Amino acid sequence: MFKRPVERFFVKKNLSRVSLRVALVYPNLYRGASSSLGYQLVYFLLNSYPEVACERATLEWPLTIESGLPLKRFDVVAFSLYYELDYVNVLRIIRESGLNPRRSGRDRPLVIAGGPCTANPYPLSEYVDAFVVGCFEAVADRLVETLLSHSGEKRPCLESLASTPGVFVPEVGNPTVLQRVANLDSSFYPVPQVLSQEGPFSSCFMLELSRGCSWGCNFCLLGYTQRPRRDRSARRLAELLEEAKRYGYEKVAFISSDFLGHPDAVRVVNMALEMGYSISLPSLRADAVGDELISTLERGRVRTVTVAPETASKKLKRVLGKEIKNEALLNLAGSLPKTVSTLKLYFMVGVPGETKEDVKQNLELISRVYRAFKKGGAGRRVVVSINPFIPKPHTPLQYCPFPNLERLRGVLNAFRELRAPGLTLRFLHPKRAFIQAFLSLGGLDAAEVLARVFESGLNPSAWFKAIGSALETVKRVREGCNPEEELPWEIVETGIPREHLRLRFARAMEAAGKR
């Protein structure tokens, strides 16, 4: 039985005094919700409208945390989608709330979804009435206005939503343009944030330094849907740090996909240290870490540093479009201060064009990084996450197939030979990665698969039985797709021309030796 979380700074409004009641659902565990800045941002932004009350729910807490009410008592049920594997949880939560999971069999409440996964809304399009695509802040005013003015009939509300830029309504089938916040300084930011004892960022104030990333690595959804990178100014960041201090926060978790791309990143971290905060940093680009950051890490007594080199192979770096030199990673591992006790690395396997030689290079690099880091202290740990390549929509590598499962297992077994004290390997299971790829590249046929998996009681083996019926999506996942053909998710326009993706794909395939 889930115990009601102990929290501070949540919002509790009188539901009978507002015009619009929203249940905001994180379709996974509470600890994930409490560490998601995006989820918290939507929660506080919705509550900033006087006519709106927003309450939270999660997978294990399907009654709202604030009032303990079932979701069907709300006008809108809104899901935050961060992982494709959470899609079945969306169906489960809707059904457990006593509602019909299919949008066609449901009148009220309206079910809305937002978050990075909505860049391809199709797999959930039979269940969700409207998708918010892109930054919520950019759509919020129009969305709230529409929901407030159409509290009666569903169809007029959906038609009005479909005319809102950044909202996709499956019943209308409107093409839409992904929305981005242009200026972070003038956009809403939640201070305080819900404080709880659960989750990796428990008791932290999450501070978003910048949003998006301009590197445009060929495999990265964010690198294509959230570019260019937009920075919060040092002045605004200082204001937010001061405001959070007044609420008693003692630790800051900096959030950014391209942390060191921010021109004032190190200065702002030092500012936080001077204010008496302890700090946690996001993943760092090894080739951007300079002496100044190294001394800041020491001064801040930072314990964990995360780096995502993806691969050791020069060839595969070109395929992925992420070319961080191995020497930069080795230098970093050897120069981290003694305060850093854990080095986390992210590697990708099954990259198009990968050979045994490339895998061998990965193993050698991990061993060298391990030795360089361990020289700084015998008790230090290296944690390596090894994830299969998953083609993502709207990226140049969207045209590639998911790697062969049998071959993937062989590659992962090769990694298992790496054994050393203080070295931990973590794998994303190839079958789970395959399901993720299926949902990433899913068309309308993937929606029916979700229903079948759900009806079969979410048994993992049900996935592989059900997937066979989605011929078009399975073909894309197993064989890749023709860059000349139109793809289902192109109903969402990201602003990156199709020609650009095709060109980058062609270059990547050339680097992979496939042309």
- Number of residues binding to ligand SF4, judged by CB under 6 A: 10
310-347 burial code (b ≥16 CB/10 A, e <16)? bbbbebbbbbbbbebebebbbebbeebbeebbbbbbbb
Closest CB to ligand SF4 among residues 188, 215: 215
Binding mask 80-119 for ligand SF4 (x = CB under 6 A): ----------------------------------------
Read off the DSSP letter of residue 16.
G
Q: Does 216 bind ligand SF4 (CB under 6 A)?
A: yes
Count of C-beta atoms within a 10 Å radius of residue 279: 20
* Beta carbon of residue 213, minimum distance to ligand SF4 (angstroms, whole number): 3
Give dist(CA 25, CA 82) in Å, integer: 12
Within 13 Å and on the Cβ side, how many CA atoms surround 187?
Answer: 23
Spacing of C-alpha 335 from chain mean position: 30
22 forms bridges with which residues in the sheet?
Answer: 54, 76
Closest CB to ligand SF4 among residues 221, 491: 221
Closest CB to ligand SF4 among residues 224, 454: 224
Q: Which of 223, 376, 388, 391 binds ligand SF4 (CB under 6 A)?
A: 223
Closest CB to ligand SF4 among residues 311, 473: 311
* Beta carbon of residue 217, minimum distance to ligand SF4 (angstroms, whole number): 3
* Beta carbon of residue 106, minimum distance to ligand SF4 (angstroms, whole number): 36
Q: What is the CA radius of gyration of the chain?
A: 23
Closest CB to ligand SF4 among residues 217, 384: 217
- 347 touches 309 (CB < 8 A): yes
Binding mask 233-262 for ligand SF4 (x = CB under 6 A): ------------------------xx----
* Beta carbon of residue 343, minimum distance to ligand SF4 (angstroms, whole number): 18
Q: Which of 188, 215, 415, 427 binds ligand SF4 (CB under 6 A)?
A: 215
Closest CB to ligand SF4 among residues 194, 213: 213
Closest CB to ligand SF4 among residues 318, 322: 322
Q: Which of 158, 178, 213, 446 binds ligand SF4 (CB under 6 A)?
A: 213
Question: 150 in helix, strand or coil?
Answer: coil
Angle at 112 between CA 110 and CA 115, to 5 degrees: 170
Using CB atoms, what's the residue nearest to ligand SF4? 223
Q: Does 217 bind ligand SF4 (CB under 6 A)?
A: yes
Of 272-331, which residues contact ligand SF4 (CB under 6 A)? 322
Strand ranges for 45-122 from DSSP E = 52-58, 76-80, 110-114
Closest CB to ligand SF4 among residues 22, 213: 213
Binding mask 147-186 for ligand SF4 (x = CB under 6 A): ----------------------------------------
Handedness of CA 234, 235, 236, 241 (dihedral sign): positive
Spacing of C-alpha 320 from chain mean position: 19
Closest CB to ligand SF4 among residues 257, 296: 257
Q: Which of 88, 222, 319, 446 binds ligand SF4 (CB under 6 A)?
A: 222
Q: Does 380 bind ligand SF4 (CB under 6 A)?
A: no
**Interface segment toward ligand SF4; rule CB under 6 A; list 21-29, 86-94, 212-220, 330-338:** 212-220
Give dist(CA 508, CA 504) in Å, integer: 6
* Beta carbon of residue 354, minimum distance to ligand SF4 (angstroms, whole number): 18
* Beta carbon of residue 505, minimum distance to ligand SF4 (angstroms, whole number): 15
Amino acid identity, position 110:
L
Q: Among residues 324, 325, 484, 489, which one has the least CA distance to residue 394?
A: 489
**Interface segment toward ligand SF4; rule CB under 6 A; list 49-57, 130-138, 209-217, 396-404:** 209-217
Classify residue 381 as left (phi > 0), alpha (psi -120 to 50) or beta: beta
Q: Among residues 515, 505, 460, 513, which one has the least CA distance to residue 483?
A: 505
Closest CB to ligand SF4 among residues 160, 306: 306
What Cα–Cα distance (Å) separates residue 110 from each residue in 41, 87, 131, 187, 481?
Answer: 21, 17, 11, 26, 34
Q: Is the peptide bond before 109 cis (omega within 30 degrees of 0)?
A: yes
Provide the binding-site residues for ligand SF4, judged by CB under 6 A.
213, 215-217, 220, 222-223, 257-258, 322
